[in-house]
Chain A
Amino acid sequence: MTTSTNAATTTTPATRTAERRRPSRDQVSLRKAAMTAAGVAILCVMLFPVYWMVNASLQPSGNTLNAALIPLEPSLDNYVRALSEQGGNLLTSIVIALGTVVFSLLLAAPAAYALAQFRFRWVPVALLAILISQMIPGIVIANALYSAYEGLGLLNSIPGLILANSTNAIPFAMLIMRSFMLGVPPAIVEAARVDGAGLMRTFISIVVPVSRNAIITAGLFTFLFAWSDFLFALTLTTTDEIRPVTLGIYQYLGTQVQNWGAVMATAVLSAIPAIVLLVAAQKYIAAGATGGAVK
C-alpha cells in the first residue's frame, strides 16, 4: 500500500521506473477520496461513544431509554441540573488541576533543565528512577499517603490532592521538558553567564522563554492528568467538602442511575479540557512532540 501511494505522490515529472505502473490521475484521486471516506468511517465508529455522551446529555427526557439517535429537541435541562449539583465540584477540580500545574512545573522545569544540560554523573540513575516511578501503581501511593495524610491533617484538603496528583505530574513533566531542553544550545546560556547572570537568572530569562512550547505542553498535560484524577480523589477524601468532579460522576454511578441525562451532562462538562486540548492546543502538542523527536 505504502509503495503505491509513494509512487502516486511523485506526480508530474516522469520518473523512469514507475512510469508504466502509475495509475491515472483520476484513479489516484478516486482512491484518495475512498481512503478519506474510510478514515471518516473509522473515526465515526471510534468516536461514537463520545457522540452518544453528548446526545444523551441533550435529551429532554433525562433517560436514555427512549433517546433519539439525534437530539431533535435539544434541551439544556440536564446541564442546569449538572451545574447545580456538580458546579462546586467542577470548581474544586479546576483549583486542584491549576494548583498541580503550578506546583509541578515549578519543581519539574529546573530539574528537567538540569537533567538535560548539566553534566551530573548520576543523570542516568535519575532517569531510571523517573521511568520506574511511572510504573508504580497509584494504589500504592494512595495507600501510604492515606495514613500519612491522616496524621498530617491533609485528608479532604486541596493541598493534599495537589500533592498527590503531583506524583504523576512531576516525572511526566520532567520527561517531556527534558527531551525538549536537550536541544537548547549551551552557547546561549554560556553567553548570559559570561555577562554575569547567575544560574537561576539565566534559567528564568533565557531557558524558560526558549522552552516555552515544551513548558506549555507539559502544563497542558499536567492539567489534564490532575483534572482526570479519580484514584486520589476517591481514596484521599472522605467527606463532601472537597470533592473533584470525577468523584461526583462516580457517586452518580454508585447507585442505580436514575437520570442518565445529568450524568452525561456532567461527563460532557468534564470532557471539555480534553476537547480544548485536542482542538485548540494541537500546535503545542505537535511542538512538544517534535521537540522531543529532534534529539
Chain B
Amino acid sequence: MTSTTEAPAGAGRGVSTPVPPRRRRKIRADDVGRILFVLPAGIAMALLFGYPVVKNVLMSLQEYTLTTFFTGEAPWVGLANYADVVSDPIFSQAMLNTGLFTAGSIVFQFAIGLALALFFKQKFPLSGPLRGLLLLPWLLPLIVSSATWRAILEQDSGILNQFLGLFGVEPIGWLVSPSVALIAVIGVNIWIGIPFNTTLLYSGLQSIPDELYEAGALDGATHAKAFRYITWPSLRPVISVVLILGVVYTLKVLDIILGLTGGGPANATQTLATQSYQRSFVDFEFGHGAALSNILIVISMVFAVVYLRRGRQAADE
C-alpha cells in the first residue's frame, strides 16, 4: 500500500510545524480533542472496573444482605465477614480445591499444549487447517462445553462409561462421586485450555529463527539437545506469559464448575470463585461473597505482579 512507502517520511511530523513555540500552541489546542478520544472508554473502564472493585471492598466490610435492598441499611462490621468466611470449614476445602484445580489444569494444559505446538510446528500437508480447527474448544461458550461434557460423563448413559465398559470397567460416577468429581472437572478444564496454550506456544515457536537450528544441526545437536538448548530458552518469555495468564484465568473459572457439578457433590468441587458466587447470589450474603472474591483478587494479583515483572524483564532483554 501507499502507507508503507510513506512510512519513512514519518519524520515529516515536524515538517508542517517546524518552529517549537508554534508547535507547542497547536498541540495544546489539539489536546482537548485528543483527550476526547480516550475519555468515553476511560469513563467506561472507571465505571465498569474501578467502581466494582471499590464497591466490592466496601461491601466486604459491611453486613450487606438481601434486606439491605429493602432497608438501604448495611451496617459496618469491619473484618467480621473475612473472619466468618475464613473460619468456615468449607473455606479450607475451597482453598485446597482452588489450588488443585489451578495446578492440575495448568500443568496438563501446558504440557499437552506444548507437545501439540511442537507437533504442528513441523511442516506437513494440512498442518495449518488442522491447527486452526483445534481452536474450537477454546471458542465454544463454556456452558456449551460444560453441557456436552456432562452428557459424556453421565454415570449411567454417558459415552465415557459405555466406552470404559468395553474394557470391563464398572461405571464411574464422574460428576456425582466426591472422590473423582474434582478430577473430572479438572480434566474438562484441561480440554478447554489446550488450544490457548498451543496457540500461544506455537506463535512463540514461529518466532525462533531457523538459523539457530541450522547452526545447532551443524554442531551435531540431537533433537533432545536442540529442544533443551535452543527451543526451551528461546521460548521462555512466552512460557512465563502462558503460565501466568493461565493461572489468572483458571483461578476465576466459574462457568465450567457450575455447569458440571455446581460445586458438589459434598463441596468436592467448590472453589473460591464458586463459593463467592454461592454466598452472594444463592445465600444473598453479599458481604461474605465480597470478602471471598477479594481474597481471590489478592491471590490473582500476586500472580499478576509476577507476570508484569516477567513482562518487563522480557522487554529489557
Contact = CB atoms under 8 A, between A and B. Distances in A.
B38 A147 contact: no
Instruction: Specify the main secondary structure of chain A where it touches its partner.
Output: helix
Contacts of B237: none
A202 to B, nearest CB: 10
A21 to B, nearest CB: 9
A2 to B, nearest CB: 6
Given A35-B122, A40-B130, A46-B134, A186 B41 contact: no
Contacts, number: 316
Contact of B44 (A107, A135, A147, A210): A107
A186 B55 CA distance: 41
Given A185-B3, A228-B141, A143 B151 contact: no
A128 B151 contact: no
Nearest to B223: A1
Interface in A225-252: 227-228, 230-231, 234-235, 246, 249-250, 252
B264 interface: no
B314 interface: no
B33 to A, nearest CB: 4
Contacts of B59: 143-144, 147
Given A111-B37, A137-B273, A138-B252, A50 B139 contact: no
Nearest to A29: B125
Contacts of A199: 30, 33-34, 36-37
Given A36-B126, A140-B52, A143-B293, 9 more contacts: A2-B122, A17-B218, A64-B157, A110-B41, A131-B304, A139-B289, A143-B289, A163-B48, A185-B3
Interface of A: 1-3, 5-7, 9, 17-18, 32-33, 35-36, 38-40, 42-43, 46-47, 49-50, 52-53, 56, 63-65, 67, 106-108, 110-111, 113-115, 118, 120, 126, 128-148, 150, 163-164, 166-167, 170-171, 174, 184-188, 190, 193-194, 198-200, 203, 210, 224, 227-228, 230-231, 234-235, 246, 249-250, 252-253, 257, 260, 263-264, 266-267, 270-271, 274-275, 277-278, 282, 289, 293
